[in-house]
Amino acid sequence: YLLCASGDFVKMYSAATEELVRAMRGHADLVTGLQLNPHNRLQLYSSSLDGSIKLWDFTDGILIKTFTVGYKLLALYALASSEDSVFVIIPKSGERDTFQLVSVKLTKTAGQDTEAKELSVVLEGVDASPKCTAFGREGEYVASVKEVHLQIYFFKRKQLNRFSVSATNTKGGNNLFTCVACHPKEDCIATGHGDGKIRLWRNFHHNKEYTFSTLHWHHDIVMDLAFSIEGTSLLSGGVESVLVQWHNGSDCKKDFLPRLGSAIEYISISSDGTLYCTSHTDNRITIINSNLRFSKSIQGLIKARDVKTGLVVDPRTKALVLNGEPGHLQFYCLQSDKQLYSLDIVQQEYIHQAGLNQADLVKVAFSAQGKWLATVEEREEETDLELQLKLWFFDEETQSFKLNTRISMPHEDHITAMCFRDMDELEDDSLILVTAGRDCLFKVWVMLEDTDPEAQQSLSWSCDFVGSYHNYQATNCCFSEDGSVLAVSFEETVTVWDSSTWDLKCTFCHPPGKIRNICFGRLTCSKYLIGATDHGFLCCWNLLSCALEWSAHLNVVVLQPDPLSEHIAAVSWLSKESSLFVFKPNEPRPICIQRNLCKEKIRFAAFVPRDVPETIGSEKYLWLRRSQLYFLTDTQELMTFSTKSPEERLTLSSKQLAVEESLPVTPFSLLLGKHRQQSQGDIDHGKVVRNHHEQDSPAVKELLHTPAHVLPSASFLCPIFINSLLISKEKKSAEEVADEVEMESEKAEDDSDEEKDVTEMEQEDIKPMELVGEITHKLSKSEEKELRKIRKMDYSWISAF
């Protein structure tokens, strides 16, 4: 098995099948360290920022004991030689950013919860990272590195040796220590440095006559080091995403495993030495055989350097599609938290080097059936820009996308938007692709039948029409649902074009703001065009009357229509928090408002159609019936909006878990869990990092931990659950972000059809104050004001009408 720390969980994966076997929950904060109990290979110690060490029986997933230490624990080490104590790194009280290594005596009392208060300081001034401290052969000494100092403490002699290297060497490289590893059999310490060198220290018992040799292959920081079980080889990894195996400490004999995808963060070796394991910065664990053959990889959502493509849903697989590895498009399955596959778009080897501009994928669009995929990649040098538009055809035989057409430099400047004409019922040859560019043009691309019999493929794409408007930069483009009209926004103006004749039909604008997003309404609301400006206005125009239907003051950053209903989701960014508004274009009042969705800026959103329409109990969340809304924030955390009650969550726990896992790596959570474990031959270790948010209210816990069949009826549980929610809200710390918002209204279920029949005027009749009052216990004053403002606008518009 492979154990890894993942957010608040300890996860156990099978090393043979890469499946998640078990997630052990219990910690209230990030898990920072994992160590197998050296005296019982089936037990596991874990430490967490919540200040507790927990002992688990991981084969059964049972929490055996909790030791409360009372400090933030940043790393955990367990030694075979020390019977009843473990070592942890804690912050030094009274001083910021200084940490110390202490040994904690774990008393053998009967109770489940014990306090471990017997601390004794071993080393002062250690680095907070668990990679910077290592225990030597048979626990005789401990080595710790920080900045340019290496300190070694010998337990038997109680002697502390300190060695320093100069901060920069003669060639200007930096000598800072980055990690340390100790030889398991000999007195040898390996340290990694900022300039890519590895130093092997020997004879460090003498303060003066110590000696070291240097291994140098990495060109940038050595991220982690690990000795093999017998110490005959040393593994090192860094940003080059190459695992290097050094034999016998010799500079000349080394083996490489290249192309691991992204920078190596941690390296771990199974206790029988047959498997290596590396964890990567892009939220992935790779399992490697000891002969340096790639074996398996455990991956969820790949963390890309920068998500430029946005969240796109593949109509065929319903997978989320976004930037993955550099130059690749990842297809991420939400249900199983797995990457379905990765499509190499750029088809160039990625070179890890600072300051090197490489081609990257910036835009992706699917045709309605998922038959065609259009991608745009760009590479920007200081002066010139390389652009490529590629069109891919889905090959039914190979079940993958095949490159059909490659168009270089489709526009003279950056492409700002791209869309297919979304017409489900029409034939292939009516498929139209529109690209809008900063070179003030939008271009229409159509498929052509190739008449040349020699040509390998019968279809290719070429430009059909080039449009422009007053030499303004084209910023967005969008087809109406039936494909008859195309809306293109040019800075402050939205232009509407007839898609059959390419005539300019009409223009809308809402000065002074430039248009940020546009979209058409769906189904019954298809006569409306919605636009958001960067001056903080959301406008709705009626295409039939060519007039402004309504507008609202809202700083919208993301505007996302649900393809299966009339609903449109708008995410606003106001005073350092994101809020969600869901509305229908035909009525200016939002159906659902969720304030304080998260603290980070939301970059993209996507509606993913559900396989089976959900039965939603509340009118308020009716819009989630047919699709689920996903968000991607600045820090590449994927969030979803869910309405499930806890009972449902329990029964569907495996499914729900998958979604939770999809939260990728964030920098602050990169504290690893290291663990070694042995169990009947299947062995491995690893570390994964993840961010997870669990509700820690006792009532919810009670709900979650009680089997479904013994629970009382849902109606009985509802008030308790809501109360618990209210309390937990207050408890939540500032940083904590609710990624699952669950609200239940006490109203009886309404039929959705009935809801649709409700007219605009009827809704207006409802007193706005009542509406506000319904959710008033959760809304602040400012939100009320906002609502009132919306109400006022509504009235003014109605009077005008």
As a whole number of angstroms, the distance between CA 385 and CA 712 comes to: 64
What 3 state SS string does 632-684 have?
A: EECCCCEEECCCCCHHHHHHCHHHHHHHHHCCCCCHHHCCCCCCCCCCCCCCC
Q: Considering the complex, what minimum distance in angstroms separates the CB of residue 202 from another protein?
A: 5
251 binds another protein (CB under 8 A): yes
Joined tokens for residue 37? 């109990």
**Which of 115, 118, 187, 750 is close enough to bind another protein by CB under 8 A?**
187
Q: Considering the complex, what minimum distance in angstroms separates the CB of residue 157 from another protein?
A: 9
164 binds another protein (CB under 8 A): no
Task: Decide whether 215 or 301 has the Cβ nearer to another protein.
Answer: 215
Q: Do 242 and 257 meet the contact criterion of CB atoms below 8 Å apart?
A: yes
Taking 3-state DSSP, the helix, strand and coil percentages for the chain, each rounded to the nearest 5, stand at 15, 40, 45
Considering only the stretches 32-40, 184-192, 236-244, 669-677, report the one whose residues sit in contact with another protein under the rule CB under 8 A: 184-192
701 binds another protein (CB under 8 A): no
205 binds another protein (CB under 8 A): yes
DSSP at 103: E
Q: Considering the complex, what minimum distance in angstroms separates the CB of residue 354 from another protein?
A: 12
As a whole number of angstroms, the distance between CA 541 and CA 529 comes to: 5
253 binds another protein (CB under 8 A): yes
Considering only the stretches 208-216, 297-305, 734-742, 746-754, report the one whose residues sit in contact with another protein under the rule CB under 8 A: 208-216
Query: How wide is the angle at C-alpha 659 spanned by C-alphas 656 and 661, nearest 5°?
Result: 110
DSSP at 515: E
**Which of 81, 164, 169, 203 is close enough to bind another protein by CB under 8 A?**
203
**Which of 19, 83, 84, 186 is close enough to bind another protein by CB under 8 A?**
186
Joined tokens for residue 181? 């590893």
**Which of 158, 208, 777, 781 is close enough to bind another protein by CB under 8 A?**
208
155 binds another protein (CB under 8 A): no
Given CA atoms 560, 551, 634, 740 in this order, what sign does their dihedral have? negative
Given CA atoms 610, 615, 618, 619 in this order, what sign does their dihedral have? positive
Q: Considering the complex, what minimum distance in angstroms separates the CB of residue 213 from another protein?
A: 5
**Which of 202, 352, 414, 701 is close enough to bind another protein by CB under 8 A?**
202
Task: Decide whether 354 or 612 has the Cβ nearer to another protein.
Answer: 354
792's enclosing H/E stretch is helix 781-800
153 binds another protein (CB under 8 A): no
**Which of 120, 172, 209, 545 is close enough to bind another protein by CB under 8 A?**
209
CA dihedral 360, 606, 734, 75 (to 10 degrees): -50
Q: Considering the complex, what minimum distance in angstroms separates the CB of residue 376 from another protein?
A: 33
664 binds another protein (CB under 8 A): no
Task: Decide whether 170 or 383 has the Cβ nearer to another protein.
Answer: 170
Q: Considering the complex, what minimum distance in angstroms separates the CB of residue 195 from another protein?
A: 12
140 binds another protein (CB under 8 A): yes
Task: Decide whether 250 or 782 has the Cβ nearer to another protein.
Answer: 250
- Residue from 34, 204, 173, 157 nearest 675 by CA: 34
Start-to-end C-alpha separation, the chain:
68
603-628 per-residue burial string, b: 16 or more CB within 10 A, e: under 16: bbbbbbeeeeebebbbbbbbbbbbbb
Quick check: bond before 258 cis, omega within 30?
no
Task: Give me the residue label for tokens 């996860």.
Answer: 11
Task: Decide whether 154 or 465 has the Cβ nearer to another protein.
Answer: 154
Considering only the stretches 250-258, 333-341, 368-376, 485-493, report the one whose residues sit in contact with another protein under the rule CB under 8 A: 250-258
Considering only the stretches 198-206, 372-380, 420-428, 790-798, report the one whose residues sit in contact with another protein under the rule CB under 8 A: 198-206
**Which of 81, 112, 164, 250 is close enough to bind another protein by CB under 8 A?**
250
Q: How far is CA 641 from its chain centroid?
A: 15
The count of chain residues that interact with another protein, using the rule CB under 8 A, is 22
163 binds another protein (CB under 8 A): no
**What residue type is assigned to position 198 of the chain?**
I
Task: Decide whether 211 or 500 has the Cβ nearer to another protein.
Answer: 211
- Residue from 333, 334, 419 nearest 376 by CA: 419
Task: Give me the residue label for tokens 């900063």.
Answer: 438
Task: Decide whether 219 or 318 has the Cβ nearer to another protein.
Answer: 219
Joined tokens for residue 141? 């000494």
Task: Give me the residue label for tokens 């791209």.
Answer: 418
As a whole number of angstroms, the distance between CA 532 and CA 559 comes to: 8
DSSP at 473: P
Considering only the stretches 29-37, 248-256, 310-318, 558-566, report the one whose residues sit in contact with another protein under the rule CB under 8 A: 248-256
DSSP at 204: T
Q: Do 539 and 554 meet the contact criterion of CB atoms below 8 Å apart?
A: no
As a whole number of angstroms, the distance between CA 717 and CA 702 comes to: 11
Q: Considering the complex, what minimum distance in angstroms separates the CB of residue 180 from another protein?
A: 18
Task: Decide whether 219 or 316 has the Cβ nearer to another protein.
Answer: 219
List binders of another protein among 287-306 (CB under 8 A).
none
210 binds another protein (CB under 8 A): yes
Q: Considering the complex, what minimum distance in angstroms separates the CB of residue 186 from another protein?
A: 5
Considering only the stretches 111-119, 201-209, 368-376, 580-588, report the one whose residues sit in contact with another protein under the rule CB under 8 A: 201-209
Task: Classify residue 448 by burial, with Cβ atoms within 10 Å: 0-12, 13-18, 19+.
Answer: middle
Considering only the stretches 32-40, 127-135, 197-205, 326-334, report the one whose residues sit in contact with another protein under the rule CB under 8 A: 197-205
As a whole number of angstroms, the distance between CA 664 and CA 304 comes to: 10
**Which of 252, 356, 544, 748 is close enough to bind another protein by CB under 8 A?**
252
As a whole number of angstroms, the distance between CA 378 and CA 602 comes to: 24
Per-residue x/- mask for another protein, residues 211 to 240, rule CB under 8 A? Answer: xxxx----x---------------------
Per-residue x/- mask for another protein, residues 546 to 565, rule CB under 8 A? Answer: --------------------
Task: Give me the residue label for tokens 């400047």.
Answer: 413
Q: Considering the complex, what minimum distance in angstroms separates the CB of residue 117 from another protein?
A: 34
Q: Considering the complex, what minimum distance in angstroms separates the CB of residue 386 from another protein?
A: 25
**Which of 137, 316, 352, 610 is close enough to bind another protein by CB under 8 A?**
137
- How many CB atoms lie under 10 A from the CB of residue 297? 16
As a whole number of angstroms, the distance between CA 768 and CA 773 comes to: 8
Q: Considering the complex, what minimum distance in angstroms separates the CB of residue 270 from another protein?
A: 25
395's enclosing H/E stretch is strand 385-395
Q: For 183-283, where are the E strands, in sequence order?
A: 188-193, 197-202, 211-216, 222-227, 233-238, 243-247, 254-257, 264-269, 275-280
Task: Decide whether 140 or 491 has the Cβ nearer to another protein.
Answer: 140
427 binds another protein (CB under 8 A): no
Task: Decide whether 210 or 472 has the Cβ nearer to another protein.
Answer: 210
Task: Decide whether 16 or 200 has the Cβ nearer to another protein.
Answer: 200
Which residues does 621 contact at the CB level (< 8 Å), separation at least 6?
592, 643, 743
Considering only the stretches 76-84, 185-193, 534-542, 714-722, report the one whose residues sit in contact with another protein under the rule CB under 8 A: 185-193
Residues at the contact surface with another protein, assessed by CB under 8 A:
137, 140, 185-187, 202-203, 205-206, 208-214, 219, 249-253
